[in-house]
Amino acid sequence: MATLCRPAIGVPENVITMEETLDLARTLHADHPQLGLALRLIGNTGVRTRRLVRPIEETLRHPGFAARNQTYEQEAKARVPEVIRRAVANAELTVRDVDVIIYVSCTGFMMPSMTAWLINSMGFRSDTRQLPIAQLGCAAGGAAINRAHDFCTAYPQANVLIVSCEFCSLCYQPTDLGVGSLLSNGLFGDAIAAAVVRGQGGTGIRIERNGSHLVPDTEDWISYGVRDTGFHFLLDKRVPGTMSMLAPALRELAEQHAWDVGSLDFYIVHAGGPRILDDLCQFLNLDPAAFRFSRATLTERGNIASAVVFDALDRLFEEGAAVDSQRGLIAGFGPGITAEITLGRWVSGEPAPLRDLDEAAVQPA
C-alpha cells in the first residue's frame, strides 16, 4: 500500500498580522456600509498571521492580470524547487525515483504546466508523468493525495511527488467590495507544500481507502469569475454551513472501511475557517483538540487553500506522538461543493524492496 511521507512546507517572508489586516480594512473601506460586519467576521477567523509572496504595499496595487500571472510564475520558479528537495529527502528518495508529479494550484496559470519546468530544471527523468490540477481549489490537496494513491495502487513500485503552490494574495481584487470578498482578504494566505507518496516503504500514513463526494447543485457556492483583471473569488454565504452536508460523507466512507469516524486517532482536515472545524466537531462528536493541527495552520498561516492539509499533516509529524497502526482521516473541501477523503494508518520505517525500473509495474498501461 502507498505511504504518504512527511511534507515539506515553504512560506514567504512577508508577514501580515490580524491587527494590520483590520487596520487596512478600516483605512481602505472607511465608508463601506457593512464595514463593522466585515471586521467582526475577519476577527472571528482566528487568523493571527499570514504570509504574502509580495509585500502588502505591492499586493494592494493591481497591475493587471498579465503582470499578476507573471509574478506567480516567477515566484513559483524561485520558491518551489527548495520545498521539493526537502520533501523528496523526507521520503528518503531522489528526484530520479519520482514517477509522477502532481502539481496543484488555483492561484495562477501556466501552460506548459509548472511540471514541465520542474522536470527540465531539477533532474527528474524525462519519462516522469505530469498531472496538473487547477480547478479543485482548496480540495485539490486531498484530491492529489487520492490520485497518488490510485496511481500507486495500479503501479505498486511507483513514487508520486505532490506539489501545492498557492499564492492567494495574487488574487486580491481591490474592486470586489462584498462582505465575502472583504472576509477573504483577511483569511487567505500564501504557501508552498510538497510531499511524496511512496508505493513501497516509507514512514507516514499508509493509505487504505479514498473517496470523493460532491454536494449536488452547489457549483456556484465557491467559484471564480474570470474577468479582464483576473480571478475574482466568489463565496456564497451558505458555504460555512456545508459541513452538515459533508460530514455524513466522511462518516459513510469510514463505515465502508469498518471504521467509526468519531473514534480515530488523528484528523487532518481543510481549515477553511473556524466554523468548518467547529461544525465537524459537532457532527462527528469529536473533541475540539481532534483538529488541533488544522486549527494551528489556520491561526499561523490562514487559509492556504490546497496546501492546508499538508501543513496540518506536517504538524502531526512534528508532534511525534503517532505510533504504528493508529488510524486517521485526511479531508480536503472545496468548490463543487466537493470533499476528497483519505483513510489510512500510521506506519514507521518499513524498508522498500529493491526497485527495477524495467519492471512492468512502472511502465505505461
* CA–CA distance, 213 with 288 (Å, rounded to integer): 24
On the 0-12 / 13-18 / 19+ scale of CB atoms within 10 A, 33 is: exposed
Q: Give the CA diameter of the chain.
A: 67
* CA–CA distance, 263 with 285 (Å, rounded to integer): 9
Beta strand 327-334 pairing with 266-269: parallel
* CA–CA distance, 31 with 28 (Å, rounded to integer): 9
* CA–CA distance, 208 with 106 (Å, rounded to integer): 28
Q: Is-catalytic flag, 138?
A: yes
Q: Of 330, 315, 199, which is closest to residue 254 (Cα–Cα)?
A: 330
* CA–CA distance, 55 with 233 (Å, rounded to integer): 21
From the list 5, 138, 168, 171, the catalytic residue is 138
Active site members: 138
